[in-house]
Structures are given as structure tokens and as C-alpha cells.
Amino acid sequence: MKASTFVYPWDVNGDPGAPARIAGLGVRQATLASAYHSTRALTPRHPRHRIVTARHAAVYYPAGPRWDGRRLRPYAAGDWAPEDAYGAAASALAEAGLDVHTWVVLAHNSRMGEEFPDTSVVNAYGDRYPWAPCIAQPDTRAYLVDLAVEAAVRPGAGGTELESLGWYGLVHLHAHDKTAGVALGDAGQYLMSLCFCPPCRDGCTELGLDPDELAAAVRRALEPVWRGETPAEGWEAVEKLLGAELATATRAWRDSVARSLQSEAVTAVRAAAPEGFQILLHADPASYHSGANAGVDPEHILSVADGVVVPCAGGPGLLTPFAERGVEGSVLAANFPVVSGMGGSPGTLAQDVARAVDLGATEVRLYHAGLASDEDLSFVTRTLAAGR
């Protein structure tokens, strides 16, 4: 089974031993960030640093002329990934014998939301989410599609993995995050992620809904949640809080927006890419979910993209809806966290992979070679060696 590990350019650049060390894990592919959000990352083996602070969302290569004169455009990275940091790391990994695919983060950009507040998701209370560009806005969609093309199709890349290609909502690990005081559950997260920016309000109107009345209904639905009543999980909990008719209408609008963006972006990347270029989406099979693993319709996305990368931190169960609706040749990559300090379980990786295979996984993703300890990586190496 093909295995790939995620990696940042700063894990490789400046560390001559990194490419061979990553290849020595037993993976065949490195999924290398070419466009990424702000983060603070540990680099436990790098000879020159231990902490990298990526202060804002950026591209890790020189942006091209397609952005000239445009209001929304990707930001250059600072000293954490200067110049063509992606290209340098990709070359080093390829020389170590690894296939290199791009890792592209799309609708997740705090700096853009701070500089251009009108691009952000606005919740039913009027609060803006600067980390979450609203994908219903025409300018934002054009930006995301062009970023997907440019950041995905880098020289020498054999494919891409597109993250957060869909709605991004409340869930976000912000600096000194203090949002866990009330257990929102699936339903509360959905309601707090509904957008009421001008284009989304227009979308409500097109559906025959009054956006002000809908926002008021969302606020009323959330009242018991603020009192501490944790709603049940699943879509039925959303229907119970908001009412089935309103819930269905909001989901229909959001699903149509996300599906069209996903189709447009994948089509554009495919048109720009060489033959055989693999396009995968980080995806959740519940279309009403938002975040890095965008909610999708499994049947639709597998008819558009070459496959999906499915989060398996809580077990591989989310693979099943994709396996049931998959088309022949689709890639179903099970994504396992292997950083024990971040909740991963590298010690059970062999059992987890075996179960994922039983549920239809065709490939494995390991998060994340640059962040993991030596002990974590030793579990990965032994697991992959035993599986050969």
C-alpha cells in the first residue's frame, strides 16, 4: 500500500539529513506544503532551529503574474519559507527517491480576513470569522480557484492534495483559543458556521428565505446550547434545533456553493496539469461539516477528483461512505496522525491501517514527519517495513 507523509519546506531546507531520513521511514511519497495557513511548528531534529513561526497564510514559491493588479492575491512567506522554499525542498526530496505531491491549503487565511474583512464568513450574530473566507463570494472563489491551480501544479509535482476546499466555519485553533467553554456538538458548530455576508444573504433570498428571519431563527435555536444543553450529534440534531425545513434549505444552499467550487477548482487544476497528475481533496463525507476536511457529497467528489484524503484520527469509519459510492480507480487515502504529543497513536498504526484497508482504503497518509518525535517515527518505520 502506498504511504505518504506530510512535510513542510522548513523541515527539509537547511537540514541535509532530512530527505534521507524521511525516505527511510518507508514512505514512497512526500506531500509537501506549497500554500499554507499561519502556524507555529516544532522542528525537533533541525540543526538550526526548533520552532518555526509562520506568521500568516502564504505561498512557499514566487507567485506568478496572474495576480498582477488583483485585490485578492496570495501573500509571500517571510523568513520561515523565503523565495522558492517549496522548490528547494521538493528537489531535495525527489533526489532522495520520493515522489512529491503538493499540499495546498485554500479557504483558510486569517491575514486576508484582517486586511479585507468583507471576504469573511459572518455568523448569525454579526461576528466575522477572519480566518474563514466566504466561498459564496465571486472574488473569493476566483482567488481560490487560481490559487489551487498555481500552488498545486508546481514543477516536478506528481499530484496535489487540496485542503479546505469548501466552507470553513467556527472550528479553528486560533492563538490562545478560548472557544471550548460550551460544548457545541455537530449541530452547534453548523449553526455557528452559517454565513450571513451579503452574497449569502442574497442566496437565502433566492431560496425564498428572509435572511434576517433566518438569522433570528439560528440565534433562537442556539439558546439552549448557550445554557449548556449539548445537542446530539448528526444532521438530525441540526433539524431538531432549527427545524427540518429551515435546516434543509440552508444545507441545500451551502452544498450547492461548495460543490460548484470544488468542481471548478478541480477542473481548473486538471486543465493546467500534465497528464497523469493526481488530484485529491481532504474531505469529510458529511457535506454539512466545515473545516480543513471540507464536507462533500462522496458520490459527487469521486466523480470529479481522483480521490480523497479522509481524516482517521477517530478511527477509519469515515472511509465507508466513500467506499460505498466510489468509482473504480478512486484513491481513498486514510489519514492517520502519528504525532503522539498531538493525540496521534503511532503505536497502533499497524492495526489502524489494517482496519482502514478492510474499509476500502487504498493509500495511507501520515501526519506529520516533521512534527513527530524520533520515537513516533520509529513506530512508523517498523509498521511500514512490516507491511512491505
Q: pLDDT per residue over 62-118, tens digit each?
A: 999 999 999 999 999 999 999 999 999 999 999 999 999 999 999 999 999 999 999
> Which comes out higher in pLDDT, residue 230 or 199?
199
Share of the chain above pLDDT 70, in %: 100
Ordered alpha helix ranges (H), the chain: 9-12, 18-23, 85-95, 110-115, 138-152, 185-193, 198-206, 211-226, 235-242, 244-272, 298-304, 319-325, 349-358, 374-386
Q: Give the whole-angstrom CA distance, residue 63 versus residue 151.
A: 9
Provide mean pLDDT across the span 25-29.
98
Residue 366: which of 346, 347, 386 has the closest Cα? 346
C-alpha cell at 144: 481560490
Residue 372: which of 383, 358, 388 has the closest Cα? 383
Q: Give the whole-angstrom CA distance, residue 262 versus residue 256.
A: 10
Give the model's pLDDT for residue 379: 96
Give the model's pLDDT for residue 176: 73
* Mean pLDDT across the chain: 96
| Architecture in CATH of 2-121+130-180+259-386 | Alpha-Beta Barrel (3.20)
Give the model's pLDDT for residue 246: 96
CA atoms within 13 A on the CB side of 387: 21
C-alpha cell at 79: 523568513
Q: Give the whole-angstrom CA distance, residue 264 versus residue 149.
A: 11
Give the model's pLDDT for residue 172: 81
Provide mean pLDDT across the span 368-378.
97
C-alpha cell at 26: 518507508
Could you report the per-residue pLDDT of 234-243, keeping only the tens digit for each? 999 999 999 9
Q: Is pLDDT of 175 > 80?
A: no
- Model confidence at 179, in pLDDT bands (50, 70, 90)? confident
Residue 198 has a CB neighbour count (10 Å cut-off) of 13
CB 119 within 8 A of CB 107: no
C-alpha cell at 267: 477542473
Q: Give the whole-angstrom CA distance, residue 288 versus residue 269.
A: 25
Could you report the per-residue pLDDT of 311-324, keeping only the tens digit for each? 999 999 999 999 99
pTM above 0.85, yes or no: yes
Q: Give the whole-angstrom CA distance, residue 111 versus residue 38.
A: 9
Q: What is the 3-state secondary structure (H, E, C) of 221-264?
A: HHHHHHCCCCCCCCHHHHHHHHCHHHHHHHHHHHHHHHHHHHHH
Residue spans of the domains in the chain: they are 2-121+130-180+259-386
Provide mean pLDDT across the span 266-274.
98
Give the model's pLDDT for residue 378: 97
Give the model's pLDDT for residue 326: 72
**φ/ψ bin of 166: left (φ > 0), alpha (ψ from -120 to 50), beta (otherwise):** left
Could you report the per-residue pLDDT of 123-156, keeping only the tens digit for each? 999 999 999 999 999 999 999 999 999 999 999 9
- Model confidence at 174, in pLDDT bands (50, 70, 90)? confident
Give the model's pLDDT for residue 387: 79
Give the model's pLDDT for residue 231: 83
Could you report the per-residue pLDDT of 289-342, keeping only the tens digit for each? 999 999 999 999 999 999 999 999 999 999 999 999 877 899 999 999 999 999
Could you report the per-residue pLDDT of 211-221, keeping only the tens digit for each? 999 999 999 99
